[in-house]
Structure 1
Amino acid sequence: MTRVTEPGAPPLWRNRDFVTLWSGQVVSALGARISATAMPLLVLATTGSAADAGLVAAAGTLPFLVAQLPAGPLVDRWDRRRILRASEALAGLALLSVPIAQWLDALTVAQLVVVAFVQGMCAVFFGLAETAALPVIVPAAQLPTALAQNEARGRGAALAGGPIGGLLFGLDRTLPFLVDAISYAAASVALLSLRKELRSGPVAPAEPLWRATAAGLRWIWRHPLIRAAILLIAASNLVFQALVLVLVVLAQRRGATAGEIGTMLGVYSGGGLLGALAATRLHRHLSPKMVIIGVNWIWTALLPLFLLTTNALQIGAIGAATAFVGPLWNVVIVSYSALLVPNELLGRVTSAAMTVSWGVMPIGSLGAGLLLAGAGPTGTILTLTGVMLATAVAATISPAVRRAPPLPRG
């Protein structure tokens, strides 16, 4: 890990709680990417329906829409270490039910919808708790680097998880889900080693949930840059949530095997890993305004290129280019939020932000399934390109983005 310090602070690689949290999530994220690669393949192999695959994918992201707002106040109120551990354990149990149902020849799309929803719900609580805990574990000057390390963790897991998920699915349809269940159990055990109290302020008062969630929404509304960034993230999340399913269906219709599709997704994710590694240094040399505007225009230019090839590896390479710039965007936006928001409000503000920015994901999944059924991959990609173009224009003309202040340098 990169050694970025402030006076009196140890480097990140010597921060025991950060290393514990980071290392446990390497295992968990790898397992999650393995099952995420296998899930649409399982649905398509079972029913042959892109709409069913979109429905299951939407169920996995629906908690980001329906659970984020109430989860934020609870994360500020409950023991964050227990939330982290319980989220991993419950997700593992849900994933374990998939191979059991396959062995009993009782697996249905309805069960996969429920499993995906539970896994998504656990991801909501874990993500909010981790985001709120990180500024307590890591000094402010090291926070952008820590976030970049987390990006590298997730992108690296996606790089390895895609090919492994495709390979395991090709060997036996139960294997990806068994591996993911084991990874969740391992991560839950690793979290027992966290020592630090994961909050820096007083416990949030036991006020009604609606009032607590309103506090997060009010804070966002009063900060134009955060408000603009959340809306821009929502638009790009809508596009890229849909894009993953589009690329899987596109490759499958062109004759790609499960292993080739997994490799394609691994190449796609490899760009994100390289971008996360680059973001640990690039964020110090590029202004936030340049990042926010530039990334959206890069995505707009790259999306039409998917129409120029039918080769799975080439599709993955174009996806890698789109993924490369994503971590830099994430580091800038999440750093702003973590540094500007009081820690006792961070769970509520983050949940409100993610309700908007991630709540569009089920719409992206459902929309992708319906567009694929009606317009095919070509029409779907053209539609997504149009949405991305509108987003890039909005970022360019936003006064809040143009006046974005610099981040602290560590």
Structure 2
Amino acid sequence: MNLLRRNRDFRRLYAAAVVDGFGSWLLVFAAPLHVFAVTGSAASTGLALAVQALPAVLLTPWAGVALDRWPRTRIVVVANLASALGVGLMLAPGGVFGGLFVESAAGCFLRPALRALTPTVVPDDGDLATANALTSFTDGAFRMLGPPLGTALVVAGWFPAVVLADLASYLVAAALVVRLRAGRGAAARAGTRVRVRDGLRALARTPLLRGLAVASCLYWTANAALTALLFPFAADRLGASGRVIGWLIAALGVGYLVGSALSRLIILRYATRTVLTAGYALVGLCFVVAFTATSVPRALVAIGLSGVPGAITQIATVHRLQLSAPDAILGRIAAAFHLTDALASVTGALLAPALVAAAGLAPALLTASLTVVAAGPLAAALLPFARPRDRVG
């Protein structure tokens, strides 16, 4: 909290993330649940998740160029306004898929911009770890509160109210960030060419960044598959209503709160390779227990426990990325990571229904959970040792 008191720019950036995060978590599972309620199809749910990720595959490399060429604060403001426009489209008949596409397209600029802007606002390594932990802690709180409320509103027939709340959150976030003092200058020097391939080359040639990207891609592919199967899992395996989806995500949010509170101590004490190897494996083992469950209490406890290492690995990855990439190409590196996450989301969302069709729901859930476990040994094999405060480049 001391960081919030003494750093005005971070206070505004954090406030924008708070408002934006609540609206986003309110809608993130409400939209797929709305699609599932209308269609009754796991394939349609997977399609909704794929539509959310597809724009990143197409736009993220160019978003990275924009982040290193133009003022990042301005990009955050415009992206928030564009996201509000996309969310508004969901109010039109049949507009959910189109709205998801537009909102996700704006997110291609918004998410990497926030990652790249944070080190500018909080330049000290220790404060940066605190900022990342605090942001993740708040995100964990919204994981706990937003999905149960959003899914409950959808079940009650109030999907438009969820949409309006998310739309308003983007507008408020834009208003907060527009007054930010830091990050107004373009990152690139005048006359310097900013090219997509420079960021990709830096990512490919830096063993630490390359290892982070590959291990993270496998981890999020399996996570996306499990997310796509979460609705049929609750209905078919647990025999529960759509409200249980909110409870499961709320349990995950509780775990994220705990993990976020512990993350600063862990990521400043242990090497990133150690944190990710142990964290990925522990998340996967929790998923094995959760997705082989046939009772709601067992699934809730296991999902909640998975959130602790899940939050720590996520914060450790972002923190290491911010330390390891030079500011001149940080936008393109952050965008490249956003691209790998998007490719993982598309792959996982489309792979999940295929796994169910080929082997059945239970084997598909177990396969995806074991794949998360496998991300741990992969991180150990690919990541070089780096002390917590080492900077690369």
Query: What is the number of residues matched between the two proteins?
Result: 388
Q: 1:404 maps to which residue?
A: 386
Q: 2:65 maps to which residue?
A: 73
For residue 341 of structure 1, report the CA deviation from its aligned partner.
1.7
Q: 1:180 maps to which residue?
A: 166
Counterparts of 1:76 and 1:112 in 2: how far apart (Å)? 32
Change beyond 3 A, Cα 1:342–1:396: closer
> In the alignment, is residue 304 of structure 1 matched against residue 288 of structure 2?
yes
Counterparts of 1:316 and 1:153 in 2: how far apart (Å)? 20
Change beyond 3 A, Cα 1:391–1:340: closer
Moved more, 121-130 or 252-261: 252-261
For residue 193 of structure 1, report the CA deviation from its aligned partner.
2.5
Calculate the TM-score normalised by the size of structure 2.
0.92
Q: 2:235 maps to which residue?
A: 252
Change beyond 3 A, Cα 1:198–1:59: same
Counterpart mapping for 1:231-380 below 5 A? 231-253=214-236, 254-380=238-364
Q: Contact 2:277–2:375 at 8 Å: present in 1 too?
A: no
For residue 388 of structure 1, report the CA deviation from its aligned partner.
2.6
Counterpart mapping for 1:7-406 below 5 A? 11-99=3-91, 101=92, 106-107=93-94, 111-141=95-125, 142-171=127-156, 172-199=158-185, 201-203=187-189, 205=191, 207=193, 212-253=195-236, 254-398=238-382, 400-401=383-384, 403-406=385-388
Q: Contact 2:209–2:324 at 8 Å: present in 1 too?
A: no
Q: Letter of the 1:31 partner, please give it.
A: G
For residue 151 of structure 1, report the CA deviation from its aligned partner.
1.4
1:69-105 Cα distance to aligned partner (Å, 9 max, x none): 1110111112222211111111112212223x2xxxx
For residue 59 of structure 1, report the CA deviation from its aligned partner.
0.8
**Which ranges of structure 2 fall in alignment gaps of 5 or more residues?**
none
Q: Letter of the 1:146 partner, please give it.
A: A
Q: Contact 1:242–1:364 at 8 Å: present in 2 too?
A: yes
Q: Letter of the 2:195 partner, please give it.
A: A
For residue 357 of structure 1, report the CA deviation from its aligned partner.
3.8
Sequence identity of aligned pairs in percent?
26
Q: Secondary structure at the match of 2:294?
A: coil
1:352-399 Cα distance to aligned partner (Å, 9 max, x none): 23322432211111112333344333111122134234322322333x
**Which portions of structure 1, spanning 4 or more consecutive aligned residues, are displaced by more than 6 angstroms?**
none
Q: Secondary structure at the match of 2:343?
A: coil
**Which ranges of structure 1 fall in alignment gaps of 5 or more residues?**
4-10
Q: Contact 2:218–2:371 at 8 Å: present in 1 too?
A: yes
Counterparts of 2:189 and 2:55 in 1: how far apart (Å)? 25
Counterparts of 1:163 and 1:332 in 2: how far apart (Å)? 27
Counterparts of 1:92 and 1:313 in 2: how far apart (Å)? 37
Q: Contact 1:83–1:126 at 8 Å: present in 2 too?
A: yes
Cα RMSD of the aligned pairs, angstroms, is 2.1
1:214-261 Cα distance to aligned partner (Å, 9 max, x none): 100111122111111110000001011121222222112333223232
1:267-301 Cα distance to aligned partner (Å, 9 max, x none): 12221122112213222333323202111221232
Q: Contact 1:264–1:313 at 8 Å: present in 2 too?
A: no
Counterparts of 1:369 and 1:118 in 2: how far apart (Å)? 24
For residue 22 of structure 1, report the CA deviation from its aligned partner.
0.8
Counterparts of 2:173 and 2:232 in 1: how far apart (Å)? 32
